[in-house]
Structure 1
Amino acid sequence: MNIKKPLNLAVRWAALAAATAALSAHAQIKIGEINSYKAQPAFLEPYKKGMELAVEQINAKGGVLGKKIEIISRDDNANPGDMVRAAEELVSREKVDLLAGAFLSHTGMALADFAKQKKVFYLAGEPLTDKMTWQGGNQYTFRLRPGTFMQAAMLVPEAVKLKKKRWAVVYPNYEYGQSAVAAFKTLLKAAQPDVEFIAEQATPLGKIEAGPVVQALADAKPDAIFNVLFGADLSKFVREGNTRGLFEGRAVVSVLTGEPEYLDPLKDEAPNGWLVTGYPWNGVSIPAHKAFLDAYQAKFKDYPRLGSVVGYSMIMAAAAGLEKAKSTDSDKLVAAFKGLQFDSPFGKVTFRPEDHQSTMGAFVGKTKNEGGKGVMVDYVYYDGADARFQPSAADVKKSRAAD
């Protein structure tokens, strides 16, 4: 019996299958995306839906550079070490074309450093610390959302109008919280030189002991409070603050609190009159947002959160950058992203060449408890391209001297 011929045929089929698999792999553009899904589901579940919608729309139009986009996601367990390990696996084993994602600022900084060391393009969607694009910025890292300086700069003019002298601050004690407080203090002191910061409560992320924190702030008797807490920490703080009367007759300025993922869970405990940044999803009337809103609601039978906008916009920005670069090469992507303009649900957004920060803006308004639910009222959208909300090119150059 001659088995040589069948064996040769089997070998040929195996080789053909391998070649087909390799060709199939190259027929897709792989985005390696890493985030703290288990630790921060309120923001990141809508964010993942936003990415899914963007990929669906892009691929329905033929993809990018003639290839479909594929997202390969990993969870960083809210840990910088796990973030780096996930990035290494995505680059080395999965052969992704670029990296994206991160929510927490300390994990985002770890991924930015990995991108710098490995010379891999990284598009940060959410990490808000100013070190992402300024003091710790690097050639391979670009950031979508307005950082802590930008959001503080949008809030400070309204905070000055409150005419409050004695301030207390409360924040999660890690990179984002520290960065937000530093920016707010610097900008408020510059605008109102007689301001005093008389009390400070720095709490472990996700582990606030709200009772003692609220009591310490109340004992300091501030005229106003600057809050940087979010998620479950915010809910506990608000509940305890309401119980102990911390907010009665006292102004509160708060970063992120107007985002539905953090405002909605407060329900009938939602505060009135806080000055916040956020996302009034049902009140944004520009055509770009209406198209996004309609598509999102049709697909998911739900309303978008800010995470939805971030996930969607991040993938749309990546697609626009790939088209402009006409390549997945990291250095070509870096060159393409400098000055890149793309369409987001908030309108046109540009990545600044000098610091790789996008001009995506933020909504500033007030909270209102309306029928047992928190909403944003009296809001206005501040465009991140406004020079009031960005450092000068000279200051950027100085802060990025080591880039």
Structure 2
Amino acid sequence: MALPFLLAFSATTIAQAQDLKIALITGKTGVLESYAKETETGFMMGLEYLTGGKMEINGRKLKVIIKDDQSKPDIARTLLAEAYGDDKVDLAVGTTSSGAALAMLPVAAEYKKILLVEPAVADAITGDKWNRYIFRTSRNSMQDGLAAASTIKGGGSIAFLTQDNAFGRDAVKAAKESLTMVGSKANVAHEEYAAPNTTDFTAAAQRIFEALKNKPEPRVLQIVWAGPNPMSKLAEMKPERFGIALAPGGNILPIMKTWKAYAGTQGTIFYYYDFPKNKMNDWLVAEHNKRYKAPPDMFTAGGFSAASAVYTALSKAKSSDTEKLITAMEGMEFDTPKGKMNFRKEDHQALQVMYHFKIKKEQKNEWDLLELVREIPVTDIPVPVKNKR
């Protein structure tokens, strides 16, 4: 009678020793390539830090399977199905493009496996397109909008310049709703949607300037752009002639480095390496500087945060079973380079601080770019629940 028991015990032992497999899907080719590479770097550094270099959780080795969806929805959908079905991953993380991420959501529901969204921001991901297998560590468009709106509570006039895609339209919709939510008296004078690959902004700028120039002051042009940012090109057209101030959303360091001539310009951002003060961020900044001769960027921190969520969930659940992970992750608090985050139970969106910045006048080195005006706490970012749970 001992033999069946021993066989069962051996099978259990083998199962426990199996690798934990995670798919990391990003848009490593195309316009968002730099975002994807930063996400991958941050994700792998996060797992390294959290596991003390062992790359294992609960005695099981971590295996990360990296896939490139080229920021194309059809490819993203296919790769996620392949990861769940053929690769037998325990969960997946991704992706860079909001359009691609939205295409992946039904696949997670079909396979009943967790998809942790990072860094896509479209509100619909944790809104009307959400399902119970979706969690998100990246901020969403409403968090961006509310952070920006918290800096423009007075009157005046606002115009928006963004991309004509899911990201851009979602961002402007969220920004307008955010202004109402914070009680801003500012009036939205114009919305300009440009093709994502636009390089000549002359016509767009003329329409924006014409719409704003005679409106009540202060006059603000908010720029919401993924990829190479047009702020410098707009600044060259001298919007100050019409009393118009530019308000850029934060961007990656190589782009913000080109903004040095615009000292004093203010905006909001979800991460800048010098703002958070905690042990995890200290390690990330020091180690990234050592390895890459530059500080970590926004999406590096995002990838690290996703790794922390994965590590915390698997450690807490002591299992890779999807239902046990969902139970562990709903309401779960976890450390990130930005500080504490937690997954809201209602829609699995990670609640997190944001930052109000000013471009520095005196910059000590090529990466000394931003001055912190204020850390915007979660209490000032009342993201509405928009899913249909």
Same fold by TM-score greater than 0.5:
yes
Question: Whose helix proportion is higher, 1 or 2?
Answer: 1
Shift of the 245–267 alpha-carbon distance from structure 1 to 2, 3 Å rule, reads closer
- Residue 286 (structure 2) aligns with: 294
Measure the CA separation in 2 of the matches of 1:269 and 1:85.
44
- Residue 205 (structure 1) aligns with: 196
Residues 368-377 or 77-86, more deviating: 368-377
Say if 2:241 is the partner of 1:254: no
Measure the CA separation in 2 of the matches of 1:128 and 1:157.
19
Shift of 1:192: 4.9
Shift of the 35–117 alpha-carbon distance from structure 1 to 2, 3 Å rule, reads same
Say if 2:227 is the partner of 1:231: yes
Please give the per-residue CA displacement for 1:212-242, whole angstroms capped at 9, x wherever unaligned: 212221222342112111322x1xx223212
Shift of 1:172: 0.9
Measure the CA separation in 2 of the matches of 1:286 and 1:206.
38
Say if 2:145 is the partner of 1:116: no
Which one of the candidate residues 382, 385, 389 is aligned to 1:390? 382
Residue pair 1:152, 1:183 contacting (<8 A) in 2 also:
yes
Shift of the 284–247 alpha-carbon distance from structure 1 to 2, 3 Å rule, reads farther
Which one of the candidate residues 297, 314, 317 is aligned to 2:306? 314
Which one of the candidate residues 43, 55, 67 is aligned to 1:74? 67
- Residue 326 (structure 1) aligns with: 318
Q: Secondary structure at the match of 1:171?
A: strand
Measure the CA separation in 1 of the matches of 2:206 and 2:322.
51
Shift of the 110–270 alpha-carbon distance from structure 1 to 2, 3 Å rule, reads farther
Measure the CA separation in 1 of the matches of 2:45 and 2:182.
42
Q: Secondary structure at the match of 2:135?
A: strand
Shift of 1:400: 2.3
CA RMSD in angstroms, aligned pairs only: 2.5
Query: TM-score with structure 2 length normalisation?
Result: 0.86
Q: Secondary structure at the match of 2:375?
A: strand
2:321 counterpart letter in structure 1: D
Shift of the 33–378 alpha-carbon distance from structure 1 to 2, 3 Å rule, reads closer
- Residue 141 (structure 1) aligns with: 134
Residue pair 2:231, 2:248 contacting (<8 A) in 1 also:
no
- Residue 16 (structure 1) aligns with: none
Shift of the 334–86 alpha-carbon distance from structure 1 to 2, 3 Å rule, reads same
Residue pair 2:47, 2:311 contacting (<8 A) in 1 also:
no
The structure whose Rg is larger is 1
Measure the CA separation in 2 of the matches of 1:347 and 1:100.
20
Shift of 1:38: 1.3
* Count of aligned residue pairs for this structure pair: 366
Shift of the 25–263 alpha-carbon distance from structure 1 to 2, 3 Å rule, reads farther
Q: Extract unaligned runs of 5+ from structure 2.
A: 1-13, 214-218
Shift of 1:30: 0.9
Which one of the candidate residues 125, 136, 160 is aligned to 2:153? 160
Query: TM-score with structure 1 length normalisation?
Result: 0.83
Measure the CA separation in 2 of the matches of 1:184 and 1:281.
25
Q: Percent identity?
A: 20
Residues 129-138 or 308-317, more deviating: 129-138
Aligned runs of 1:271-290 on 2, under 5 Å? 272-290=264-282
Please give the per-residue CA displacement for 1:187-215, whole angstroms capped at 9, x wherever unaligned: 22454565332222111223353222122
Residue pair 1:59, 1:68 contacting (<8 A) in 2 also:
no
Shift of the 240–294 alpha-carbon distance from structure 1 to 2, 3 Å rule, reads closer
